[in-house]
Amino acid sequence: MTSMLYPTTNPSASEQMIVSRGDGPYIYDRAGKRYLEGMAGLWCTSLGYGNEEIIEVATQQMRELSFSHMFGGKTHDSAMQLADKLASMVPLANARVFLGNSGSDANDTVVKLVRYHASATGRPDRVKIIARDKGYHGVSLASASLTGLPPNHAHFQLPFDALGIVRAGSPHYYRNANPGESEAEFVARRANELEAQILAEGPDTIAAMVAEPVSGAGGVLIPPAGHYPAIQAVLDRYGIALWDDEVICGFGRLGKDFGANAMDMKPDMMVFAKALSSAYVPVSAAVISGEFAEAIEGAASDMGVFGHGYTYSGHPLGCAVAHKVLEIYERDRIFEHAETVGAYLQSRLQEFASHPLVGEVSGMGMIGALELVANRAEKTPFEGMVVGAFCAKAAESAGLIVRPLGGNRVALCPPLIIEREHVDEIIDKLTIALNATLDFVTRENLLK
Ligand X SMILES: Cc1ncc(COP(=O)(O)O)c(C=O)c1O
**Contacting residue, 136, 228, 329, 335, with ligand X by CB under 6 A:** 136
Q: Per-residue string for binding with ligand X, 22-51, x by CB under 6 A? A: --------------------xx--------
Q: Three-state SS for 166? A: strand
Q: Which is nearer to ligand X, 136 or 329 (CB)?
A: 136
Q: Which is nearer to ligand X, 112 or 189 (CB)?
A: 112
Q: Which of 378, 369, 430, 443 is nearest to 399 (CA)?
A: 430
- Long-range contacts, stretch 420-424, CB < 8 angstroms, 24+ apart: 420/341, 420/344, 422/25, 422/36, 423/341, 423/344, 423/345, 423/348, 424/348
What's the closest the beta carbon of residue 247 comes to ligand X, in angstroms? 3
Residue 299 CB burial class (10 angstroms; 0-12, 13-18, ≥19):
middle
- Please list every residue from 325 through 384 that binds ligand X, using CB under 6 A: none
What's the closest the beta carbon of residue 157 comes to ligand X, in angstroms? 20
What's the closest the beta carbon of residue 271 comes to ligand X, in angstroms? 7
Q: Which is nearer to ligand X, 244 or 360 (CB)?
A: 244
What's the closest the beta carbon of residue 78 comes to ligand X, in angstroms? 20
Q: Which is nearer to ligand X, 82 or 210 (CB)?
A: 210
Total number of residues binding ligand X (CB under 6 A)? 16
Which residue's beta carbon is nearest to the bound ligand X? 103
What's the closest the beta carbon of residue 447 comes to ligand X, in angstroms? 32
What's the closest the beta carbon of residue 374 comes to ligand X, in angstroms? 28
User: What angle is formed at CA 227 by the lines to CA 221 and CA 232, rounded to 5 degrees?
Assistant: 125
- Please list every residue from 375 through 394 that binds ligand X, using CB under 6 A: none
Q: Which of 343, 360, 355, 25 is nearest to 219 (CA)?
A: 360
**Contacting residue, 231, 273, 366, 412, with ligand X by CB under 6 A:** 273
> Is-contact 61 277, C-beta < 8 A?
no
| CA–CA distance, 315 with 321 (Å, rounded to integer) | 10
Q: Which is nearer to ligand X, 140 or 431 (CB)?
A: 140
**Contacting residue, 76, 137, 172, 422, with ligand X by CB under 6 A:** 137
Q: Which is nearer to ligand X, 148 or 359 (CB)?
A: 148
Up-side HSE of residue 198: CA atoms within 13 Å toward CB?
A: 25
User: What angle is formed at CA 167 by the lines to CA 163 and CA 169, rounded to 5 degrees?
Assistant: 160
Q: Which is nearer to ligand X, 138 or 267 (CB)?
A: 138
What's the closest the beta carbon of residue 204 comes to ligand X, in angstroms? 28
- Say which residues have a Cβ less than 8 Å from residue 234's Cβ, sequence separation at least 6: 191, 194, 195, 198
What's the closest the beta carbon of residue 135 comes to ligand X, in angstroms? 8
Enumerate the H helices of 66-121 as residue ranges.
Answer: 77-89, 103-120
> Is-contact 270 258, C-beta < 8 A?
yes
Q: Which is nearer to ligand X, 104 or 109 (CB)?
A: 104
> Is-contact 320 61, C-beta < 8 A?
yes
Q: What is the DSSP letter of 169?
A: P
Q: Which is nearer to ligand X, 247 or 325 (CB)?
A: 247
**Contacting residue, 25, 138, 213, 314, with ligand X by CB under 6 A:** 138
| CA–CA distance, 240 with 243 (Å, rounded to integer) | 9
- Please list every residue from 204 through 263 that binds ligand X, using CB under 6 A: 212, 216-217, 245, 247-248
| CA–CA distance, 104 with 271 (Å, rounded to integer) | 9
Query: CA torsion 310→292→119→125, rounded to 10°?
Result: -110
Q: Which is nearer to ligand X, 219 or 388 (CB)?
A: 219
Q: Which is nearer to ligand X, 273 or 418 (CB)?
A: 273
| CA–CA distance, 101 with 95 (Å, rounded to integer) | 19
What's the closest the beta carbon of residue 388 comes to ligand X, in angstroms? 17
Q: Three-state SS for 287? A: strand
Q: Per-residue string for binding with ligand X, 147-186, x by CB under 6 A? A: ----------------------------------------
What's the closest the beta carbon of residue 215 comes to ligand X, in angstroms? 8
**DSSP line for 171-230:** --HHHHSPTT--HHHHHHHHHHHHHHHHHHH-GGGEEEEEE-SSBTTTT-BPPPTTHHHH
- Please list every residue from 72 through 131 that binds ligand X, using CB under 6 A: 102-104, 107
> Is-contact 360 368, C-beta < 8 A?
no
What's the closest the beta carbon of residue 304 comes to ligand X, in angstroms? 28
| CA–CA distance, 218 with 212 (Å, rounded to integer) | 10
Q: Which is nearer to ligand X, 359 or 368 (CB)?
A: 368
Instruction: By CB under 6 A, name the binding residues for ligand X.
Output: 42-43, 102-104, 107, 136-138, 212, 216-217, 245, 247-248, 273
